Amino acid sequence: MTEASDPRVPVTVLTGFLGSGKTTLLNRILTEEHGLRIAVIENEFGEVGVDDALVLDAQEEIFEMNNGCICCTVRGDLIRILSALMRQKNRFDRIVIETTGLADPAPVAQTFFMDDELGSQLRLDAIVTLVDAAHITAHLDEVKPDGVENEAVEQIAFADRIVLNKTDLVSPDDLIAVMSRLRQINAVAPILPALQAGVALAEVLDVGAFDLQRVLDFDPTFLEESEHCHDLSVTSVGLEIPGEVDLTKLNDWLGDLLATKGVDIFRSKGILAPAGSATEYVFQGVHMLFDGAEGREWGERDRVNRMVFIGRNLDRDELHASFRACLVSE
């Protein structure tokens, strides 16, 4: 059923492993001149939210769900937010849901078929999966504990569109190998190579691509309630500390941290307050790769540093103390 013949509000689910570029694509969606009114639902794994600050200023309604994964512990929050949105649906044309990088998209998609009230008002338009070309093979090859799904595999398998991002970070031969691997997991979803998640929005919005029968062919138990088990060895450490940062000390610390422990740090990101600067310092890292850039002006807001690390073998006390050592002494 197409948008023209279906009065229900279309919903796009953005998924993909940690650091694949979901927020970058979301920003493209929000800043393109398309005239659409979009409600955004964001889910972060950690107790300290950062993604809200990474989303560019826009007129859209943005709802956050922190400290849990949208596919399990905060799924009830998703249903409540969607239900609340339906009571004010004259304010938007469509909904975009950005999941945490550790989410299995199947339970999110189930929501639109197992809740009759939501299903009568919302239609799942597409699951759009972003893939980090440089790191996806390692995540696909990761051996998980018994009973734990490989989230990266699930995200690709359930995709209606695959945005193969960061293609500039791999060689042509490696890119061909990655595309072949994706095709082994999902033989039908179009693969859209991209830099900085730069794809035409017509390729990912209002595509009417979600096919329930295809999903049932892949997973006959899709419409049955089931428990989703996360890899409990993957944890999150969030830091929220007031003060100003010495950027030289910070870059030295992050460089050393990610060089020595980057294999275990899947994702790192933060909004920081550099000493002597009126603007934010936006930091983002994936394993050993990291980068920083100026963000928005602080204005009248309190200068509070927020950082999040997601990975294995994270030492909260050590990260906290090391970051504090980067602050400018009063």
Instruction: Report how far residue 269's alpha carbon sits from residue 272's, in angstroms, rounded to the nearest whole number.
Output: 10
Following CA atoms 47, 52, 53, 57 in sequence, which dihedral angle do they give, to the nearest 10 degrees?
Answer: -170
What's the pLDDT tens digit per position in 263-301?
Answer: 889 888 888 999 999 999 988 888 888 888 888 899 988
Return the pLDDT at 12.
96
CA R_g for the chain: 20
Domain shared by 165 and 30, yes or no: yes
Structure tokens at 46: 């950690």
Identify whether the C-beta of residue 161 lies closer than 8 Å to the C-beta of residue 204: yes
Residue entry with tokens 């294999």: 263
Measuring CA to CA, which residue among 60, 128, 118 is closest to residue 84? Answer: 118
DSSP-derived letter for residue 315 is -
- Share of residues in the chain with pLDDT > 70 (%): 86
Q: 81 pLDDT band (50/70/90 cuts)? A: confident
SS3 296: strand
Tell which wins on pLDDT, 71 or 85: 85
Domain shared by 169 and 64, yes or no: yes
Residue 223 resides in a domain: no
Give the mean model confidence (pLDDT) for residues 173-196: 95
Return the pLDDT at 280.
92
Contacts of 199-202 with CB under 8 Å at 24 or more apart are 199/25, 199/28, 199/163, 201/28, 201/29, 201/32, 201/34
Predicted TM-score of the model (pTM): 0.74
Mean pLDDT for the chain?
84
- Share of residues in the chain with pLDDT > 90 (%): 42
What's the pLDDT tens digit per position in 68-80?
Answer: 444 444 457 778 8
Instruction: Report how far residue 89's alpha carbon sits from residue 325's, in angstroms, rounded to the nearest whole number.
Output: 48
Query: Is residue 170's pLDDT more than 70?
Result: yes
Give the mean model confidence (pLDDT) for residues 120-127: 94
Mark 196-234 as b/e (b = at least 16 C-beta within 10 Å).
ebebeeeebbbbbbbeeeebeeeeeebeeeeebebeeeb
Tell which wins on pLDDT, 62 or 219: 219
Return the pLDDT at 54.
47
Q: Which secondary-structure segment (H or E) carries 62?
A: strand 61-65
Tell which wins on pLDDT, 99 or 327: 327
Residue 251 resides in a domain: yes
Domain shared by 63 and 212, yes or no: yes
Q: Could you say which of 218, 247, 268 is where a domain stops?
A: 218
Q: Could you say which of 160, 185, 218 is where a domain stops?
A: 218
Return the pLDDT at 149.
81
Domain shared by 201 and 251, yes or no: no
Residue 130 resides in a domain: yes
Return the pLDDT at 330.
52
Domain shared by 71 and 178, yes or no: yes
Instruction: Report how far residue 93's alpha carbon sits from residue 11's, in angstroms, rounded to the nearest whole number.
Output: 10
Structure tokens at 296: 């928005």
Query: Is residue 145's pLDDT more than 50?
Result: yes
Tell which wins on pLDDT, 207 or 35: 207
Measuring CA to CA, which residue among 151, 46, 164 is closest to residue 104? Answer: 151
Return the pLDDT at 109.
86
- Output the domain CATH number for residue 86: 3.40.50.300
Q: Could you say which of 218, 245, 267 is where a domain stops?
A: 218
Identify whether the C-beta of residue 250 lies closer than 8 Å to the C-beta of residue 280: no
Least confident of 100-104, 122-126, 135-139, 254-258: 100-104
For strand 265-272 and strand 304-311, is the pairing parallel, antiparallel, or unpaired? antiparallel
Q: 63 pLDDT band (50/70/90 cuts)? A: low
Return the pLDDT at 230.
55
Give the mean model confidence (pLDDT) for residues 308-325: 91
Look up the domain containing 150 and give its range: 9-218
